[in-house]
Structure 1
Amino acid sequence: MSFKEWCDSRAWPLKEESWRALFWQLLWGIWLRRNAWVFNQTRIEVQDVIERDVRGSLEYRYAQECMRMGGRTEKGSKSWQRPPRGRCKVNVDAAVCDNGQIGCGGVVREATGDVLVACCGKMEGDYEADVAEALAARFVLKLVWEAGIRHIIMESDCLKLVAHLKNAKVETTSFGNLVSDLLVLVSSFSSVSFSHVCRDWNKVAHNLVQLSRSFTETRVWIEEVPREVQTFVSSDLCLVE
């Protein structure tokens, strides 16, 4: 069942505690809207705030139900895990920036934990978070393919993206179109699987995304990472020793 079908089947029957959570989420959205105007003179429509926060609340409940039912994806790993020998793990992440751009980042590591490829870059456009995550995954996987790496495990902290890719679920939305593109792209790899990881254990990719703000063009590092990210690479290795 898709996210839209799940919402339609319930006609938004939020329980009392869900309404309270949505209320506070909307207040936070209004506060961010105020700050965007005060500090950046950026006008955000009230309807956009409401739609984003309501959708975020529903997606959160959808993800919770997926995990309870155990039919979509496993619970996110509690730490970065080495891939099996002969395969590489590709961690990807994205961030929506305030200036109408998204940041993308990714890192490829083999079973020893050594970094094969790291990359970051930016794209123009005002996208929702799930679309940004799918764009980032496509951005990174294209570079992985160009690097000649063919056996991969793609790992993301976006539960929705991982669930759709694992179940080859395609919808008639911008996000769905990107999922379709990704499924075509990964079909060219020799082997591929998808895994969800908790956000706290996707820090290498996350910090590469943050680093993208410092550059005007795509940056790629072969068999190394920028010094700003090395600490997080070492931390992952220490925790799995």
Structure 2
Amino acid sequence: MVGLFVWRLWHRRNKWVWYTVNMFVFGLKMIVFNMLADWRRAREVNVVKQSHSQAHRSWLKPPAGWIKVNVDVACSFQPKEAETLRLKEALSWTKEWRTTKCVFESEAKLLADAVQGTRGASFFDSIVEDCNKLIKYFDEVLLVFIHRSMNQVAYLLARAACSMSGLLEWNTRAPYFITCTLAFEEI
């Protein structure tokens, strides 16, 4: 912190020497604190991004203070729209928890790219726009493309849901058909 303060003083001095711009010293402390907070946030997001690099091929636990939501869908009709609707539903559901830092993982690369890029006017793009509106409720959200091997539990749950009727929740025990995968991934 002392180094940051000295650097800002040096920066202030250079503005005066080179551009004859006088900066008030009173706000210097607040500028330093804001820069430090921004640096910490950026560093935390960088750690999360690095932990989700494609070098890993199995599910990874989220960093402390973050929650992770794996999104997958089981259908053969318009899969990109279905995956996007599942993301929208997951964002809406997670928003109610009042959590601020979330990682959403999907094996739909097109979806991950669309949320972070420009959009058109298709049905898919309108759902992506809805997702982006929901993302604004969070302090930090990462939507990460992952390989199916990293999303195996979500994949198995999505496939099993096709043969189940009604809504099901597992609050205390995992369903039997994913226990081996959970044990293998040491969750």
Q: TM-score over 0.5 for the alignment? A: yes
Give % identity.
24
* Secondary structure in 2 matching 1:91: strand
2:150 to 191, 201, 225: 201
Q: CA deviation at 1:83?
A: 1.4
Deviation track 1:45-65 (CA, whole Å, cap 9, x = no partner) reads: xxxxxxxxxxxxxxxxxxxxx
Superposition CA RMSD, Å? 2.2
Q: Distance in 1 between matches of 2:186 and 2:180?
A: 10
Q: Distance in 2 between matches of 1:77 and 1:129?
A: 25
Q: Distance in 2 between matches of 1:177 and 1:206?
A: 25
Unmatched segments (≥5 aa) in structure 2: 1-52
Q: Which amino acid in the other structure matches residue 136 of structure 2?
A: S
Distance 1:141 1:83, change over 3 A: same
Alignment of 1:93-172 (within 5 A): 93-97=72-76, 127-167=77-117, 169-172=118-121
TM-score of the superposition, structure 2-length normalised? 0.64
In structure 1, the residue matched to 2:177 is 228
Q: CA deviation at 1:217?
A: 2.4
Of structures 1 and 2, the larger Rg is shown by: 2
TM-score of the superposition, structure 1-length normalised? 0.50
Alignment of 1:44-123 (within 5 A): 75=54, 77-97=56-76
1:184 to 124, 133, 136: 133
Is the 8 Å Cα contact of residues 80 and 108 (structure 2) preserved in structure 1?
yes
Q: Which amino acid in the other structure matches residue 225 of structure 1?
A: A
Alignment of 1:16-27 (within 5 A): none
* Secondary structure in 2 matching 1:216: coil
Q: Distance in 1 between matches of 2:150 and 2:57?
A: 7
Distance 1:134 1:212, change over 3 A: same
In structure 1, the residue matched to 2:39 is none
Distance 1:181 1:80, change over 3 A: same
Q: How many residues align?
A: 135
Instruction: Select the structure that is richer in strand.
Output: 1
Unmatched segments (≥5 aa) in structure 1: 1-73, 98-126
